A and B are shown apart, each in its own frame.
Chain A
Amino acid sequence: MLLEINGLTIAGPAGTIVDGVGLTVAAGEMAGLVGESGSGKSLTARAAIGLLPKGLRASGSIRVGGVEIVGTAGERVLRGLRGRRVSLLMQDPFSMLNPLRTAGAHIAETMPGRATREEVARRLAEVGIDDPSVAGRYPFQLSGGMRQRVALAAALAGDPELLIADEPTTALDATTQHEILALLARVQADRGMGVLLITHDLRVAFAICDRVSVMYAGRVLEQGPGTSLAQAPAHPYTAGLLRALPSVEYTLEHLTGIPGSVPPAAQVASECAFAARCDHATTRCRASRPPLREIGDGRLTACVHDTLPRLTARDVATGTLPTGSGEPLLVVDDLVKRYGTHTALGGVSLQVAAGETVGLVGESGSGKTTLARSVLGLVTPDQGRIELDGLDITRRRALTRQERARVHRLVQCVFQDPSTSLNPAMTVGATLAEAATRAEPADRLAPGDLLELVGLPPGYATRRPKGLSGGQRQRVAIARALAVRPSLLICDEPVASLDVSVQAHVLELLRGLGRELGTAMLFITHDLAVVRQIAVRTVVLFKGRVVEQGDTATVLDAPAHDYTRRLVAAIP
């Protein structure tokens, strides 16, 4: 075994975070570790390479190539292991490489023996970079996907037996993500090394990993081969995650997230960690902590029940989405925006009808956010025309005071990052009350009512954003946007940084609001499965141009443009 983790427990000042995790990776094996944020998967990986953040202590046993590294190993032993025996590939291709060193220097640094120009070029070719001149380039001159390739080459430079990849594709575009995963699988097979792939993306893990461990609240709830876990999960949590996954093939009637939120590991130390959120929970589940038990086919589950949870929600009839009245609400005509020599928008035209939800799909740099910001008046386009409810809003400065006030009531936005979308210094109630003052006096809602609208208890008004989870913050952000009763809601990747179970809740909420309030939406996303669940029509943006638009079903099932086909093909 390359990596053997036994009874690993990680404790911080606030109590236990990882509780008795066991995990093995054999040579030539692609092992997956999946879990939602806060499950302890990244800490487990960091412990395995001896890089725990300050203030956290590990106990139990971690053996890397037979060497015990918990407790006994000093920095010198760890240095001997890192790079040569075990190596780490991290998430963010923007901060992972040193901006002052060339790609070649990163690779040469950890290479055993002399680093010749030919050898560096060979290493680059291994990760699919055939142009040897890349070795002389700096990180800022490379795209995200190229950086991740260079980082992979650097992680492999010391010829490690084990590679730990911590969310290596999360920050990348769908098509690039697909390429990097394929590359990782190929390199792993060629070298016969062990890989521990850590990801929050169930589809990715189940598709490419030989064995997958599902972590929750600091412990492993289920282990087994990826394909059999995907088809017949043995733990209700895994089943819940699978149910929450939006499907790219059809529009689901209901999106069912898992109710409640993840408890701290310390709070559920002596019971089934998932019991509080589980439909099947009995007194047995709370009596003691269920151990991982074998259920055949090399599978393990920590559920005490013998019956497997069912995946029924998948095969019900397809849902319908509001189609709107047909009256055009937003008309964007030949919009152009340039930043220096870079063309963000090269003549984009699209329409959103009143009450309709339109999906806007594209990768980073496709101009989808610039388009949203132009409609919101946060950037002024160079050419073209934006018309909202019959009012020309292309240049906000040209509008009168009354017209501007009207525009602010017509269009609102839900932003992507839940960590910055609310003012950390204001309570939820103050944020919502402030937004409500901008509404027509007759439509004004109290903060409590707004919170109820998005499914939060009114008592949350006294909380500050710091005391809310990502999903709750996003709900508050939606409530703030709805406070002025807008006709058009622009959603800029509102669920991109949320966990699947939370994502399903927020998507379902937005769908319901679209139906009940008749709010039209321009829904920006890079995730085709999400767009399938929410938008009747889809517009595909590529390099600042609309390359395809039409019914979501038609666009996804029979893509006409080459780029759309690649996007669809990249779905794991």
Chain B
Amino acid sequence: MTAVSGTPLFGGRVARLRRTRPGFLTVVSAAVLALMALAAIGGTWIAPYDPAAQDVALGASMPSWAHWAGTDDLGRDVLSRCLAGARSALLWPVIVTLCTCAMSTTLGLLAGYRRGWVDAIMMRVVDLLIALPGMLVLIVLVGVLGGGIGWAVLALAVLFTPGDIRVVRSLTMAQRELAYAEAARTLGLRPTRIMFRHLLPNIAPTVVAGALLSFVAGLVALSGLSFLGIGLPAGTPDWGLMIEENRTLLDLNPWASVIPAALVTIAATAATLLGDRLFERLSDAA
């Protein structure tokens, strides 16, 4: 099979994507997300202070030349904590996304391609999961039972997967009826090969768009959990946790909670916009 391994996931669409001019909003969204990703990777090194270094004598202070975004009640530099917090704020949603994507694509392709009892059983499980009140499950699982961030990530992935399975499944069902898929079956190709080499590249635009939406949902949900004080241990530099910890300082240094809140909003908006445009362009180029 080595001779025929040359099927890129997007079938040359990425190359065509480069040739067409992207819109202004797309560029801005991509740039914002890239900057945040940089902060997530190297934030701890760029940060002017150690994000954990305390200066209790200084306490909460408004922005100054020494501390551009001020300090929190323990005298920790807010800017440094925002930079360092990008890692946990973005990394965990990315893991949620990867898990969701892997599960929903595999199971959705399987259900849509195989149909029959495989599909029937899977869809009933999906119905069951969709009926669960998501946030409640998370709070019980992570908050009451005392699971850590790992459990929260896993639970989110399991909660996000059913919706995406339905989307992938319906697209797969439409693609498998097309002549090229029937030709592949007539050639006697293995089902896994038909699913991943033939069908998946043709539904990839939707999978990518879905992935960015999962990222947004994961980001917001995990920030929400942190705000409720569930998941990450207190004191970890993380945007969601910073909003929670510093909400009492609104009169002393409002920036300590406003900036991380703004960062979450901006990241979510940028990812949504990018997913939207990317979907349009990838499906256009198909």
**Which residues on A are within 8 Å of B, measured CB to CB?**
376-378, 404-405, 407-408, 411-413, 415-417, 420-427, 430, 433-435, 437-438, 464, 477, 480-481, 484
Residues of B within 8 A of A413 (CB): 182-183, 186
**A426 CA to B198 CA in the complex, in Å?**
8
Q: How far is the CB of A480 from chain B (nearest CB, A)?
A: 6
| Contact status B3-A433, CB under 8 Å | yes
8 closest cross-chain pairs (CB), A and B: A425-B11, A408-B188, A425-B201, A415-B179, A421-B179, A420-B178, A434-B4, A423-B180
Residues of B within 8 A of A481 (CB): 183
| Contact status B189-A416, CB under 8 Å | no
Residues of A within 8 A of B57 (CB): none
| Contact status B7-A426, CB under 8 Å | yes
User: Is B6 part of the contact surface with A, judged by Cβ < 8 Å?
Assistant: yes
User: Is B92 part of the contact surface with A, judged by Cβ < 8 Å?
Assistant: no
Q: How far is the CB of B158 from chain A (nearest CB, A)?
A: 30
| Contact status B187-A408, CB under 8 Å | yes
| Contact status A417-B179, CB under 8 Å | yes
Q: List 20 A-B contacts (CB under 8 A).
A: A377-B185, A378-B182, A407-B188, A408-B186, A408-B187, A411-B186, A412-B187, A413-B186, A415-B179, A415-B182, A420-B179, A421-B179, A423-B202, A424-B202, A425-B7, A425-B204, A437-B4, A438-B188, A464-B12, A480-B187
User: Is B10 part of the contact surface with A, judged by Cβ < 8 Å?
Assistant: yes
**Which residues on B are within 8 Å of A, measured CB to CB?**
1, 3-4, 6-8, 10-12, 178-189, 197-198, 201-202, 204, 286
| Contact status B186-A422, CB under 8 Å | no
Tell me which of B10, B11, B183, B188 contacts A477 (CB under 8 A).
B183
Q: How far is the CB of A53 from chain B (nearest CB, A)?
A: 16
| Contact status B189-A438, CB under 8 Å | yes
Q: How far is the CB of A373 from chain B (nearest CB, A)?
A: 8
**A413 CA to B204 CA in the complex, in Å?**
27
**A438 CA to B179 CA in the complex, in Å?**
18
**A405 CA to B10 CA in the complex, in Å?**
30
| Contact status B180-A427, CB under 8 Å | no
| Contact status B187-A484, CB under 8 Å | yes
**A434 CA to B198 CA in the complex, in Å?**
11
> Given A438-B189, A464-B12, A415 and B7 touching (CB < 8 A)?
no
| Contact status B183-A437, CB under 8 Å | no
Residues of A within 8 A of B1 (CB): 437
| Contact status A437-B182, CB under 8 Å | no
| Contact status A412-B6, CB under 8 Å | no
| Contact status B6-A427, CB under 8 Å | yes
Tell me which of B11, B178, B180, B184 contacts A464 (CB under 8 A).
B11
| Contact status A415-B4, CB under 8 Å | no
Name which residue of chain A comes closest to B6, CB basis.
A430
| Contact status A416-B179, CB under 8 Å | yes
Q: How far is the CB of B254 from chain A (nearest CB, A)?
A: 48
Q: How far is the CB of A491 from chain B (nearest CB, A)?
A: 12
**A416 CA to B182 CA in the complex, in Å?**
12
Apart from the given pairs A434-B189, A481-B183, 8 other A-B contacts in the complex at a CB distance below 8 Å: A377-B186, A408-B186, A424-B202, A425-B8, A427-B12, A430-B6, A434-B197, A464-B12
**A435 CA to B197 CA in the complex, in Å?**
13
**A241 CA to B183 CA in the complex, in Å?**
31
**A407 CA to B188 CA in the complex, in Å?**
9
Name which residue of chain B comes closest to A464, CB basis.
B12
- The prevalent SS among residues of B at the interface is helix
| Contact status B183-A480, CB under 8 Å | yes
**A408 CA to B4 CA in the complex, in Å?**
19
Q: How far is the CB of B13 from chain A (nearest CB, A)?
A: 8
Name which residue of chain A comes closest to B203, CB basis.
A425
Residues of A within 8 A of B4 (CB): 430, 433-434, 437
Name which residue of chain B comes closest to A427, CB basis.
B6
**A425 CA to B181 CA in the complex, in Å?**
12
**A421 CA to B198 CA in the complex, in Å?**
12
Tell me which of B6, B180, B188, B197 contacts A422 (CB under 8 A).
B180
Residues of A within 8 A of B182 (CB): 376, 378, 413, 415
Residues of B within 8 A of A437 (CB): 1, 3-4
Q: How far is the CB of A446 from chain B (nearest CB, A)?
A: 9
**A425 CA to B189 CA in the complex, in Å?**
17
With most chain A CB atoms within 10 A of its CB, the pick from B4, B186, B189 is B186
**A430 CA to B7 CA in the complex, in Å?**
7
**A434 CA to B194 CA in the complex, in Å?**
11
Residues of B within 8 A of A411 (CB): 186
Q: How far is the CB of B286 from chain A (nearest CB, A)?
A: 6
**A430 CA to B201 CA in the complex, in Å?**
14
Name which residue of chain B comes closest to A419, CB basis.
B179
**A417 CA to B12 CA in the complex, in Å?**
23
**A411 CA to B188 CA in the complex, in Å?**
11
Tell me which of A378, A425, A427, A438 contacts B187 (CB under 8 A).
A438
Q: How far is the CB of A498 from chain B (nearest CB, A)?
A: 14
| Contact status A421-B183, CB under 8 Å | yes
Residues of B within 8 A of A433 (CB): 3-4
Name which residue of chain A comes closest to B1, CB basis.
A437
**A427 CA to B8 CA in the complex, in Å?**
10
> Given A427-B6, A464-B12, A435 and B202 touching (CB < 8 A)?
no
| Contact status A426-B186, CB under 8 Å | no
Residues of A within 8 A of B7 (CB): 425-426, 430
| Contact status B186-A424, CB under 8 Å | no
Tell me which of B8, B186, B202 contacts A412 (CB under 8 A).
B186
**A404 CA to B11 CA in the complex, in Å?**
30
**A547 CA to B178 CA in the complex, in Å?**
30
**A411 CA to B183 CA in the complex, in Å?**
11
**A484 CA to B189 CA in the complex, in Å?**
12
Residues of A within 8 A of B188 (CB): 404-405, 407-408, 438
Residues of A within 8 A of B3 (CB): 433, 437
With most chain B CB atoms within 10 A of its CB, the pick from A377, A417, A424, A438 is A424
**A220 CA to B181 CA in the complex, in Å?**
40
**A427 CA to B11 CA in the complex, in Å?**
8
Residues of B within 8 A of A405 (CB): 188
Q: How far is the CB of B204 from chain A (nearest CB, A)?
A: 8
With most chain B CB atoms within 10 A of its CB, the pick from A412, A426, A481 is A426
**A535 CA to B180 CA in the complex, in Å?**
26
Residues of A within 8 A of B186 (CB): 376-378, 408, 411-413
| Contact status A425-B6, CB under 8 Å | no
Name which residue of chain B comes closest to A490, CB basis.
B186
Residues of A within 8 A of B198 (CB): 423, 425-426
Residues of A within 8 A of B8 (CB): 425
**A477 CA to B178 CA in the complex, in Å?**
13
Residues of B within 8 A of A435 (CB): 187
Name which residue of chain B comes closest to A417, CB basis.
B179
Residues of A within 8 A of B185 (CB): 377-378
**A266 CA to B99 CA in the complex, in Å?**
51
Residues of A within 8 A of B10 (CB): 425
Q: How far is the CB of A195 from chain B (nearest CB, A)?
A: 35
Q: How far is the CB of A388 from chain B (nearest CB, A)?
A: 13
With most chain B CB atoms within 10 A of its CB, the pick from A423, A464, A481 is A423
> Given A433-B3, A464-B11, A464-B12, A421 and B187 touching (CB < 8 A)?
no
Name which residue of chain B comes closest to A422, CB basis.
B180
**A481 CA to B183 CA in the complex, in Å?**
8
Residues of B within 8 A of A480 (CB): 183, 187
Q: How far is the CB of A307 from chain B (nearest CB, A)?
A: 45
Residues of B within 8 A of A404 (CB): 188
| Contact status A421-B12, CB under 8 Å | no
Q: How far is the CB of B229 from chain A (nearest CB, A)?
A: 47
Residues of B within 8 A of A422 (CB): 180
**A412 CA to B180 CA in the complex, in Å?**
13
Name which residue of chain A comes closest to B9, CB basis.
A425
Q: How far is the CB of A444 from chain B (nearest CB, A)?
A: 10
